[in-house]
Amino acid sequence: MDPLDVLTNLDKVFPNYQAIFSADEQTVIGYEVLGRIKINDQIDSLGSFFHDESIPDEYRIEVDDHLLHIAIDEFLKLNNQELMLFINRDANLLMLDHGEDFLHTLIEKQEKGLHLNQIVLEITEHNFLGDIEQLYHLLLYYRTYGIKVAIDNIGKAGSNLDRIGLLTPDILKIDLQPLRLTSPLQSYYDVLYSISLLARKIGATLLYEDIEVNFQLQYAWKNGGRYYQGYFLNKPTRNFIERDDCKERLRLEFQRYISSEKKKLEGLYNFTEQFNLRVQQMLNKIGKQYTDYKQLLEQLSNELDDCCFRIYICDEDGFQQSVNIFKKDNWEIQPQYYLKNWSWRPYFLANIIRMRFDQKGFLSDVYSDIETGELIRTFSYPLDQNQYLFIDLSYEYLYEADGLL
């Protein structure tokens, strides 16, 4: 798009609004402002204009300010203090005057009834080239006025979680477009999981965007998303849609997700109970018919050949009290793991205490095995007061068993 076409047709530049929905009330909680231009009866997005760094800064700022004035004036006509207005800004442009013009515009609109705690400033962290400390102080200053901050496009590019943590945003916008790929890399899911952990640590709300199909919405619902946005729910429109526009539809979708998740959790519970009984019966059958742990593991491997690929025993401090018995084509002994310590692993000690008090085994979440790289689960079982059995279930077994992956 020729930037001069935009500047000379500023009267034909206008905002569209894309609704953002909440999980808790299934209603619209805010609208994102998206720039559009109409020339020769054709409406085009201004996204490429704003992202083109070859266009002079003052051109992009002028169009940004034009859209901002229109959007806030139209937003105020809704006369609803519960709604938020999401405004995109290039952090590099924002820092040219240390954010003064943007803040001045918002303060001017206060006189017309705008509450600054209704404004959400969206920036893209990985595009910012300046001093992150200066940006942090600007955002901190904005917050004293009640302005909220959202970090945009997380998951689409190489976002730096340390920098995001420093900026302490109120909202993290996670892009779900990669989920449309035939088979997203496991690393993508790992990054999203890391982002969800970061959000919990810094007290940020997760907003999943670019939701275009049902399974993306289900993923967002299942993975801590409080807010949702995308074509599946609502396309950008010139006018603000009603707050209850998708309420019934979301309610029905969530009910379906809830039923499916409850069924899966019940299946996991039943599997755990049955596997716990299976291990208990095997140990009772073996009894004391072994001279050392190596012999016990060999006997267990014969009984568990259909489902697992690694078995070992640790004490309650995480020191391995046995060798590994590991299955490739055949079962083999790995003596090098004897006395290795695994207490550094997340939740290891918490799980030990859980087994000690419950006196029964349990199934871990799905995770990537360090050695094989495959998705697995581990079944842990208390042998006695200080010894704990660990059985790694193979990907093939989990894949064949309904609801274990």
Q: Are 168 and 129 in contact (CB under 8 A)?
A: no
Domain span at 38:
3-238
Q: What is the pLDDT of residues 159-168, one digit of tens each?
A: 678 888 899 9
- pLDDT averaged over every residue in the chain: 93
159: in domain: yes
Which token pair is 141?
Answer: 């200053």
Q: What is the pLDDT of residue 61?
A: 96
The reply to whether 180 and 325 lie within a common domain is no
Sign of CA dihedral 206, 207, 213, 218: positive
SS3 233: coil
Q: How many CA atoms are closer than 13 Å to the CA of 275, on its beta-carbon side?
A: 26
User: Residue 315: which CATH number?
Assistant: 3.30.450.20
Q: What is the pLDDT of residue 288?
A: 79
Determine the Cα–Cα distance for residues 190 and 186; give it in Å rounded to an integer: 6
Q: What is the pLDDT of residue 158?
A: 54
The reply to whether 211 and 328 lie within a common domain is no
Q: What is the pLDDT of residue 182?
A: 61
The answer on pLDDT for 123 being more than 60 is yes
CA angle in degrees (0–180, nearest 5) for 208-269-342:
80
405: in domain: no
CA distances from 196 to 65, 201, 217, 304 (A): 33, 9, 16, 35
pLDDT band at 99 (very low <50, low <70, confident <90, very high): very high
Of 178, 147, 173, 171, the C-alpha closest to 159 is 173
For the chain, the farthest-separated pair of C-alpha atoms sits apart, in whole angstroms, at 89
User: Residue 175: which CATH number?
Assistant: 3.20.20.450
Q: What is the pLDDT of residue 153?
A: 83
State the total domains in the chain.
2
pLDDT band at 289 (very low <50, low <70, confident <90, very high): confident
Q: What is the pLDDT of residue 69?
A: 97
Q: What is the pLDDT of residue 177?
A: 86
Query: What is the residue whose two structure tokens read 């419950």?
Result: 358
The answer on pLDDT for 216 being more than 70 is yes
pLDDT band at 212 (very low <50, low <70, confident <90, very high): very high
The answer on pLDDT for 184 being more than 80 is no
Q: What is the pLDDT of residue 64?
A: 97
pLDDT band at 188 (very low <50, low <70, confident <90, very high): confident
Q: What is the pLDDT of residue 155?
A: 64
Tell which wins on pLDDT, 156 or 25. 25
255: in domain: no
The reply to whether 222 and 325 lie within a common domain is no
> What percentage of the chain reaches a pLDDT higher than 70?
98
> What percentage of the chain reaches a pLDDT higher than 90?
81
pLDDT band at 178 (very low <50, low <70, confident <90, very high): confident
Q: What is the pLDDT of residue 156?
A: 62
Q: What is the phi/psi pair of residue 80, to 5°?
A: -135, 110
Q: Are 119 and 84 in contact (CB under 8 A)?
A: yes
What b/e readout covers 281-317, taking b as 16+ CB neighbours within 10 angstroms?
eebeeeeeeeeebeebbeebbebbeebbbbbbbbbbe
Comparing 23-27, 48-52, 124-128, 265-269, the range with the smallest average pLDDT is: 124-128
The reply to whether 41 and 75 lie within a common domain is yes
Of 146, 206, 210, the C-alpha closest to 18 is 210
Determine the Cα–Cα distance for residues 377 and 308; give it in Å rounded to an integer: 10
